[in-house]
Chain A
């Protein structure tokens, strides 16, 4: 019974030319031209500043290259150069003036699964790179499987190095057919685009070499994709999910208005909330209504009071009834409740060099709640190259498996395929305090 349709706007609308923010991930190895593609996006969107460009010009000359090597723009840390490997996910930024982009640049090599899972967890879109000469490879299948597993809303398959196959449409069509045959098993929808990152064809500019391709350029695809936090069409009716991070009780004796102030602070992870909406507090299952929505000095009157708030916003909720709510509890819409459970089944990616020990207790962090957890069985491990299921007794780094955990505390969960924020959890090793696993509830 949300009254959103009838409410006035909450504030001055965003400038019409502001299309928000998009986070995307590039999947591929150095050989596929991933670094060159990122360099090209940064360069053609004029993000690269003169001093940075001069630095890579000097390096290119030092290495005896005739042209500026754009892949040097993503050259990493001293520690990485010494070892000749890329260690970690790097985040890079560019803006087109209408939209801001965050690129998660995940390296290849043996730690790839762990890195890609990390980078994919916050991505709104993934670009899967295929070398036009080599076509669909095992790694293409692996990247696609992981993109699906991590529930990245949109996939773009970019067939790169078209300049090395004479810009031939027939080769592009062949790769596309190969990919579609395999992708139908995964039930994913993708967009295909032929590019040459080296020459810049179909990245930001169309170029002169791929005239037969009539679809959008890569940047046009990125500009048109739904922004971070935007409600997907199929999620427009998503129920409210508001995990409580912090309780604000100012008890300011100088201001009588604040004597009884109890604000529940958090971020709207799914759905919307409007003043007057019926909500349920979990796990206590107490029902009440939203009395106020606050964001300091925001809102139509500038007094910090909002008529409603949407997915992605960090706000403070005040409730009609005096209900005990603490960090770790969730305030949710009164319809489509999440499942409150002490046992979860999940796909688990193991991130740590020390293997999962089935006898040990771990800590699970789900939204703002923590619970001790005990492994309740490994159903199977996925061979991410063949996608076959295999029996497993323990899990090593980069393994992905279907598992179950028993929990000391109840968690209010959704399936990860329905709601990333309330279907995701991390596993923490209490001995090292390290984050050792990433889970997606099924």
Chain B
């Protein structure tokens, strides 16, 4: 799965854009290791966290990762992604901690308003519980600034208070590559090593490094229904509603996450190269094409981040 020769522009005096982004991300991860005492790396099996895992290998091999992998599972994830998550964690020989929104529901710390409500935003509660349980002082995540305008203004080392809240008006200045990860007990850092990557950079890096992905990132046939201009997958947790017209389409996922809020796009792309070609010419943003939850209000991501979301 790993390409034998990873191209590096060390030949010239200029780094390629992927070399530069990779070097920056490695530097950020090593700062976490150097400054924080109990970090964790959020690994969901999605493409951004697959890049994080590769970057962690580049940052710390031949040593072990100085942090465990952590996944907050809504219980509504695609089985292909969960299988991939477990297999990949075992292959690289690092410890994977899974904490489940369903456990928070059983404890009563997550209460759904309706049984069918998306569990996506409730991940914040389970994440904060996992942070408290393990005493994590930093959580490394795969969020990118190009995803959303609230993220465009977030720091690489993003300070969260003991409620996990992000305060956009009170962020620490971040200069040069001098990151300040100092916190007091109970507070937490969220760290985003691929802040400066775009969706296209992620795909190009996956291609260059020859990284394996869950199968649902590639074109496959799947029953879907059309909702608000998006394709909604038909699954046991998202069953057909009265009036829905089910179509069997060739689709792929640009982003994978909770089934109730991640939509596939029509595509015939069966290789990374074909995905890159589609990404380069697409006319719809990643979240615009795939998120069934971000459209509810213009500021929904900003609101969720203030509540402790990544």
- Chain A interfacial positions (CB closer than 8 Å to B): 9-15, 18-21, 49-52, 75-80, 87-93, 95, 99-100, 102, 114, 117-118, 121-122, 226-231, 236, 245-246, 248-250, 252, 255, 258, 261, 263, 265-267, 295-302, 304, 306, 308-314, 327, 351, 365-368, 420-421, 424-426, 428, 433-435, 438
Residues of B within 8 A of A306 (CB): 8, 10
Point out the residues of chain A lying under 8 angstroms from B228, CB to CB: none
Contacting A at CB under 8 A, from B189-243, are 195-196, 198, 200-201
With A77-B150, A118-B175, A351-B173 already in contact, the answer to whether A49 and B282 are too (CB < 8 A) is yes
A-chain residues with CB within 8 Å of residue B66 when the two chains form the complex: 246
Least CB distance, B156 to chain A, in whole angstroms: 10
Also in contact, A313 and B10, with CB within 8 A (given A50-B283, A249-B63, A365-B178):
yes
A299 close to B8 (CB less than 8 A): yes
Structural contact, B8 and A246, CB atoms closer than 8 A: no
**Which residues on A sit within 8 Å (CB–CB) of B196?**
91, 93, 102
On chain A, the residues within 8 Å of B4 by CB distance are 297, 302
Given A91-B145, A420-B176, does the pair A296, B282 have CB atoms closer than 8 Å?
no
* A93, B198: Cβ atoms closer than 8 Å: yes
A302 close to B5 (CB less than 8 A): yes
- Judged by a CB distance under 8 angstroms, whether B102 is at the interface is no
| Sample of 29 A–B contacts (CB below 8 Å) | A11-B5, A12-B8, A13-B9, A14-B16, A49-B284, A76-B153, A78-B302, A88-B153, A91-B152, A95-B198, A100-B201, A102-B196, A118-B175, A121-B176, A226-B14, A229-B14, A230-B14, A236-B13, A246-B66, A267-B26, A297-B2, A298-B5, A298-B6, A312-B15, A314-B59, A420-B176, A421-B176, A426-B175, A426-B176
Contact between chains at B5 and A13 (CB < 8 Å): no
Complex Cα gap A311–B26 (Å): 14
| B87 contacts across to A, CB distance below 8 A | none
What is the distance, in angstroms, from A75's C-beta to the closest C-beta of chain B? 8
A12 touches B34 (CB 8 A): no
Q: How many A-B residue pairs have CB under 8 A?
A: 249
Interface flag for B95 (CB, 8 Å): no
Contact indicator A310/B10 (Cβ below 8 Å): yes
Q: Which residues from chain A contact B60 at a C-beta distance below 8 Å? A: 246, 248, 265
Complex interface: stretch among B126-134, B180-188, B247-255: B180-188
- The answer on a CB contact under 8 Å between A79 and B168 is yes
**A75 vs B17: C-alpha distance when bound (angstroms):** 27
Question: Which residue of chain B lies nearest to A261 when distances are taken between CB atoms in the complex?
Answer: B62
Say whether, besides A49-B283, A77-B168, A231-B13, A250 and B8 are in contact (CB < 8 Å). no
Nearest-CB distance from B288 to chain A (Å)? 4
Q: Which residue of B lies closest to A328 (CB)?
A: B34
Q: Is the CB of B178 within 8 A of A424?
A: yes
Query: Which residues of B are interface residues toward A (Cβ below 8 A)?
Result: 2-24, 26-27, 30-31, 33-34, 57-64, 66, 145-146, 149-150, 152-153, 168-169, 171-178, 180, 182-184, 195-196, 198, 200-201, 282-285, 288-289, 298-299, 302-303
Given A87-B169, A117-B175, the answer on whether A314 and B57 have CB atoms closer than 8 Å is no
Please indicate the chain A residues that have their CB under 8 angstroms from the CB of B26 in the complex: 267, 314
Which one of A20, A229, A300 lies within 8 Å of B5 (CB-CB)? A300
Please measure, in the bound complex, the distance between the C-alpha atom of A245 and the C-alpha atom of B35, giving whole angstroms.
Answer: 9
Asked whether, in the complex, the Cβ of A266 is within 8 Å of the Cβ of B30, the reply is yes
Contacts of B16 in A (CB 8 A): 14-15, 18, 20
Q: Chain A: which residue is nearest B299 at the CB level? A: A78
**B195 partner residues in chain A, CB cutoff 8 A:** 91
Q: What is the bound-complex CA distance between A365 and B195, given in angstroms?
A: 22
Q: Chain B contacts of A301 at CB under 8 A?
A: 5
A11-B8, A95-B198 given; name 12 further pairs at CB < 8 Å: A11-B5, A11-B6, A14-B9, A14-B15, A79-B169, A121-B176, A246-B33, A246-B60, A297-B58, A312-B19, A314-B58, A434-B180
Tell me the complex Cα distance, A9–B7, Å.
Answer: 11
Contact pick for B27, options A89, A261, A267, CB 8 Å: A267
A292 → chain B closest CB, angstroms? 11
How far, in Å, is B143 (CB) from chain A's closest CB? Answer: 13
Alpha-carbon distance between A160 and B133 when the two chains are bound, in angstroms: 56
Instruction: Provide the bound-state CA to CA distance between A112 and B196, in Å.
Output: 23
Task: Give complex CA distance A5, B196 in Å.
Answer: 33
* Contacts A50-B283, A77-B302, A228-B20; A435 near B172 (Cβ below 8 A): yes
User: Which of A13, A118, A121, A228 interacts with B12 by CB under 8 Å?
Assistant: A13
Q: A228-B20, A368-B34 are in contact. Are A250 and B7 (CB under 8 A)?
A: no
- Chain A residues near B175 (CB-CB < 8 A): 117-118, 121-122, 424, 426, 435, 438
User: Which residues of chain B come closer than 8 Å to A255, judged between CB atoms?
Assistant: 62
A314 and B27 contact, Cβ closer than 8 Å, known pairs A18-B16, A434-B172: yes
